Structure 1
Amino acid sequence: MVQGCRVPTDYGITRMFYSNHEGTVRQGCRTPSDYGIISSMALKKKRKQPAWEKLDNTALLFPVIATEGMSNVYRLSACMTEEIDPEALAEAQEKVLSQFLGFRMRLRAGFFWYYFEENDRPLPEVREENDFPGAYINKSRNNQYLFRITYYRKRINLEVFHALTDGFGGLVLLKELVYQYLRIKHPEILEVEKDKISSGIFLDKEDSYLKNFKRAKGRDVAYKSKKAITLKGEKLPKGQLGVVHGILPFAQLKTAAKAHGITLNQYLVGTFVYAIYREVLKGDPSDVPINCCVPVDLRSYYDSHTMKNFFAMVSAIFKPEKDEYSYEEVLAIVAESLKSQTTPEHLNDILSYNVSNETNKFLRPIPLFIKNIAIKKVYDATAYGTTSTVTNVGRIELREPYRPYVENFYAMLSMSKGQNVKGAVLSYNDKMIITFTTILADLSVLRRFFKCLTADGVECAIETNGVWD
């Protein structure tokens, strides 16, 4: 692996080196008691009742399974052209977060469900980074907030507990934070930009899962729990996370994908699956498949602008049944696997299956602690059915006055049970950045991945956080 310009300290590793509707319940005809919320404030009518809301369908899982080793925290970073001013960043956080009620929440446990309640404590302190990306957010040490903003040298980091929102919502906040920070640092921007949140931003907090729920018409899309290939091997020291950035010319990637007759996303996922096939299975047949999960943003399918989670998981499945599949064959199989699962009909079936469990009238009145036991059991039984996850956060565009001050963006995922390597993709300007995070000491799969891209004419600039040095 070629060592780029980044070193362990680039990630803060400290070894040697809407409007706020006060007193309202914004859940249609439901009330806090529907979720088992018992509050003394409800008995004191003259006191403000904090805004509250239920968790979306996807978010219900994360509080149950989150641990220090499996944080369910993702990171989005903006790499600036100048050193970060912590005081300006803290001021930007205060201004921007005043408009984002969805992030000013604390997690509470009701009798039947978890729920969010408005958090009136001071926002988390903006600190210099001192841990690996995606580290567990200890709520008691974070004023009960489920996000944190850190910095290191020229980089601004936003880390979010996935129960709050997905990558779409996280990017909306990060972009507004960057805009506000730059207006503070460069007041001349105010000559052409207003000092407020961007016009056209939707702070919609609907549960788009429930809004678009329609029962599937007899089609069974229940998630299978069959075992998949697991990437194993010697692990990095406990608590460490390896990071590998691949910075790739967007035009060259598009040309390579087009040459194979597939989409860019299919090309990247297919190449990753092929790398696993060659380095783990050594080209041999296997009784269990390589199963790479790919989150699909559902907003464009349902005309949604929600800031809550709204995605579905599909799987790129490759089960080698003969010796020596070629690169072309694997790409074609993966592309067809993804294509067949990303039809509107299939995505609706997935949504319907997921939501049907939440709306089941027999399950709803079961106490939360029993639900948690059942959810954890189901999760543990299915966790090893996935080899890895590769998510594409999408294309990031900044307005012209801000663009010269931002060099790159990065997205990083934390680890999950059975998944020791994950990938996150985004594009900015004329580059696509794919970031792999891993707890494994062996980098052979990632070397193979970039080697395949290079053979297809894609120039790869590689940077790491140096944990393998």
Structure 2
Amino acid sequence: MKSGYSNWRKLDNAALAFPPATDKNDTRVFRMYCELKETVDPEILQTALDHTMEKYPLFQVVLRKGLFWFYLERRDIRAVAKKEVKPPCSRLYIPDKKALLFEVSYYENRINFEVYHALTDGTGARNFLQELVQNYLKLQHPETRFPETETRQRATFRDHEEDSFSQYYSSETPKNKEKNPRAVRLKGEMLGHDDMQILEISIPVKEILDKARSYGASITAYLSAIFICSIHEEIPRNRQKRPVTLMVPVNLRNFFPSESMANFFGWIEVGYTFTETTTFQDVLEDVKKQFETELVKEKIAMHMNGYVRLEKNPVIRAVPLEVKKYFLMVGAALGSRRITTVYSNIGVVRFPEEYEQYIERFGFFTCTEALQLCSCSYGDELLLGFTSKIPGESIQRNFLEYLKKDEISFTEERNDFPGCGEEQKKEGRKAYQTFTFLCLAAAVLCGMINYMTAQTLNWFWFAAAGSFCAWLVVSVGYTKRRNILKNEMWQLLIITAIAVLWDVFTGWHRWSVDFVLPFGAMAVLGSIPVIAKVNHLEPEEYLFYLVQAGIAGCIPIILVWAGIVRFTYPSVICAGISFLVLAGLFIFQKKNTVGEFHKKLRM
């Protein structure tokens, strides 16, 4: 572990809503890539990645779930540069899977850096990729004297992992009482993630800068106005009473000094409500005013403090994560009603001129639910990246028509992205689906036989219940398959509950509490150290489950005192062993055990 680097840290404010909202079609992953003028050497890329990780060890983390919040924890997992085979922006965060939250891949002359947004933002990704490319080119061309890039700052590990939202939060900042109206939403049947369409547009920076200045606008404001107009042209007349609104992310480091590599961004909402006489000039003038009004430090601070104020609310902090995540999802859904889509400009990627002979371009795009536009520039090239799950490219074509009208030259870049349009193999999915069907078929078959032989369904219900119980146990095992220790605890809970229900409905002979619970708890308690040893798990990965198993193992003695258990020997043995395990943890592993509780119970 690097000196000064924390073993775990809480998620920053912007990242809190990402894990609950992540699924296979909305991965919350974005890609930044560098296209070189030569084919990538995989071995040198791996060495360059190893060197880069020495500077950015805060990326060597996995996402874990506490009782009240998610958090990031250090793991000794080596980042490996792989050949690109998956669709761009494929899922990186999968619950219970012990994996890093970023991935470096290569294809021909392209180096890709994909990252889960809960780990970092566009600025962090840009800094990491610049460092990686610099390290790669220095190793590939040792004969060239490369100067240092701007990313070689003297920031400490603490600076990199700083939660700048909390650093600059002030409870004295007034609340933002403005509420934007609901916006037009892009509706219709959407493509799956594997079929996400990617269109990149290359534009000379000088041309678009001159054109934007001729309107008295910035490039971001100019492109935002074009994007709004392009979307409006595809909105049916009966839905044009609402504004077309863009969410435009804002780098808060431009307003508050920060070296943080965690998320530190906010956003502004820029929209326009069209009339029959609206012109592009009208939209652009209004968008310019909105940028001028919103991009001031006082307004930005007001928005930022509003986000953090919710996180620090004592009532919200005390709500368990399993409940809180649904409120986070609802809050995100309600907030998205004010947004039509997103335009994210990551800014300029700068390298000293000695690198220019080896670098072709940089690109940037992200996963999307419907449609999104991203942009970045390098040298005299501005690269726009449209990602879309809307069938067809009508909005993109409208966008290009506006560029043509303003006599801005552009080139469509149809890059080859391996895996696009190819459905990825779903691990174990087909076997699980087959098992589900067989359980259903068994229940139906029993019902048919029961009715045909006895003209009633007297024993069918037991067969159906048995099929359901088998399906439930396997379903929990399949869902939690990536974390065997968590799987064990869930199986103990489910099997005990099923046993008690069967016992109750068959006359309450108490075999469920006499034998199933104590023997199940002892089985889990004994297997955890074995699993930890075989799988070389670190203490942080199994201590909390060992404590849970120990607590579960003490429950039988409570049932004995309550007079519920009839045959007491298994319960007494189970409780005695469980108590000794808990005592041993707090005597011999006190620091690790208390530390694990501190992480899990942080409010």
Q: Which residue of 2 aligns with 1:354?
A: 307
1:216/1:353 contact within 8 Å kept: no
Q: Which has the larger radius of gyration?
A: 2
Q: Distance in 1 between matches of 2:23 and 2:396?
A: 27
Q: How many residues align?
A: 416
* Counterpart secondary structure, 1:213: coil
Q: TM-score, normalised by structure 1?
A: 0.83
Structure 1 residue 402 displacement after superposition:
2.1
Per-residue CA distance 1:405-431 (angstroms, 9 max, x = gap): 110000011113xxx110111111011
1:425/1:434 contact within 8 Å kept: yes
Q: Distance in 2 between matches of 1:201 and 1:435?
A: 31
Q: Which residue of 2 aligns with 1:146?
A: 101
Q: Residue 104 in 1 paired to residue 86 in 2?
A: no
* Counterpart secondary structure, 2:224: helix
Q: Distance in 2 between matches of 1:324 and 1:222?
A: 28
Q: Residue 279 in 1 paired to residue 222 in 2?
A: no
Q: Which structure: greater strand fraction?
A: 1
Q: Unmatched 5+ residue regions in structure 2?
A: 422-603
Q: Which residue of 2 aligns with 1:39?
A: none
Q: Residue 78 in 1 paired to residue 50 in 2?
A: no
Structure 1 residue 370 displacement after superposition:
1.8
Q: Which residue of 2 aligns with 1:448?
A: 398
1:246/1:460 contact within 8 Å kept: yes
Structure 1 residue 192 displacement after superposition:
4.9
2:173/2:301 contact within 8 Å kept: no
Q: Distance in 2 between matches of 1:260 and 1:207?
A: 38
Q: Which structure: greater helix fraction?
A: 2
Q: Residue 174 in 1 paired to residue 156 in 2?
A: no
Per-residue CA distance 1:249-299 (angstroms, 9 max, x = gap): 1111111111112111100101110111223357x8822111110001010
Structure 1 residue 368 displacement after superposition:
1.6
* Counterpart secondary structure, 1:423: strand
2:174/2:302 contact within 8 Å kept: no
Q: Which moved more, 1:456-465 or 1:349-358?
A: 456-465
Alpha carbons of 1:458 and 1:194: their partners in 2 closer, same or farther (altered >3 Å)? Answer: closer
The amino acid of 2:277's aligned partner reads E
Q: Residue 343 in 1 paired to residue 296 in 2?
A: yes
Structure 1 residue 393 displacement after superposition:
0.3
Structure 1 residue 201 displacement after superposition:
5.8
Q: Distance in 2 between matches of 1:118 and 1:133?
A: 26
Q: In the TM superposition, what are the counterparts of 1:11-30 in structure 2 within 5 Å? A: 20-21=2-3, 26=6
Structure 1 residue 223 displacement after superposition:
6.2
Structure 1 residue 330 displacement after superposition:
1.2
Q: Which residue of 2 aligns with 1:377?
A: 330
* Counterpart secondary structure, 1:390: strand
Q: Which residue of 1 aligns with 2:214?
A: 259
Alpha carbons of 1:58 and 1:140: their partners in 2 closer, same or farther (altered >3 Å)? Answer: closer
The correspondence for 2:245, drawn from 288, 291, 298, is 291
Q: Which residue of 2 aligns with 1:11?
A: none
Q: Distance in 1 between matches of 2:384 and 2:273?
A: 25
1:216/1:348 contact within 8 Å kept: no
Q: Distance in 2 between matches of 1:367 and 1:234?
A: 35
The amino acid of 1:70's aligned partner reads D
The amino acid of 1:21's aligned partner reads S
Q: Distance in 2 between matches of 1:465 and 1:456?
A: 26
2:35/2:111 contact within 8 Å kept: yes
Alpha carbons of 1:364 and 1:300: their partners in 2 closer, same or farther (altered >3 Å)? Answer: same
Alpha carbons of 1:335 and 1:192: their partners in 2 closer, same or farther (altered >3 Å)? Answer: closer
The amino acid of 1:436's aligned partner reads F
Q: Residue 423 in 1 paired to residue 365 in 2?
A: no
The correspondence for 1:303, drawn from 257, 267, 272, is 257
Q: Which residue of 2 aligns with 1:316?
A: 270
2:175/2:306 contact within 8 Å kept: no
The correspondence for 2:359, drawn from 406, 412, 436, is 406
Q: Which moved more, 1:371-380 or 1:227-236?
A: 227-236
The amino acid of 1:110's aligned partner reads G
1:233/1:441 contact within 8 Å kept: no
Alpha carbons of 1:439 and 1:194: their partners in 2 closer, same or farther (altered >3 Å)? Answer: closer
Alpha carbons of 1:210 and 1:246: their partners in 2 closer, same or farther (altered >3 Å)? Answer: same
Q: Which moved more, 1:307-316 or 1:398-407?
A: 398-407
Q: Distance in 1 between matches of 2:136 and 2:155?
A: 18
* Counterpart secondary structure, 2:293: helix
Q: Distance in 2 between matches of 1:233 and 1:257?
A: 33
Cα RMSD (Å): 2.5
2:184/2:239 contact within 8 Å kept: no
2:362/2:378 contact within 8 Å kept: yes
Q: Which moved more, 1:233-242 or 1:442-451?
A: 233-242
Alpha carbons of 1:217 and 1:401: their partners in 2 closer, same or farther (altered >3 Å)? Answer: closer
Alpha carbons of 1:192 and 1:272: their partners in 2 closer, same or farther (altered >3 Å)? Answer: closer
Q: TM-score, normalised by structure 2?
A: 0.65
1:139/1:146 contact within 8 Å kept: no
Alpha carbons of 1:257 and 1:135: their partners in 2 closer, same or farther (altered >3 Å)? Answer: same
2:149/2:352 contact within 8 Å kept: no
Q: Which moved more, 1:459-468 or 1:446-455?
A: 459-468
Q: Which residue of 2 aligns with 1:31?
A: none
Q: Residue 332 in 1 paired to residue 285 in 2?
A: yes
The amino acid of 1:358's aligned partner reads E
Structure 1 residue 212 displacement after superposition:
0.6
Q: Distance in 2 between matches of 1:59 and 1:86?
A: 32
Q: Which has the higher contact order (CA 8 A, sep 6+)?
A: 1
The amino acid of 1:309's aligned partner reads N
Per-residue CA distance 1:229-261 (angstroms, 9 max, x = gap): 123456446521111111111111111111112
Alpha carbons of 1:351 and 1:221: their partners in 2 closer, same or farther (altered >3 Å)? Answer: farther
Q: Which residue of 1 aligns with 2:541?
A: none
Q: Which residue of 1 aligns with 2:164?
A: 208
Q: Distance in 1 between matches of 2:356 and 2:248?
A: 29
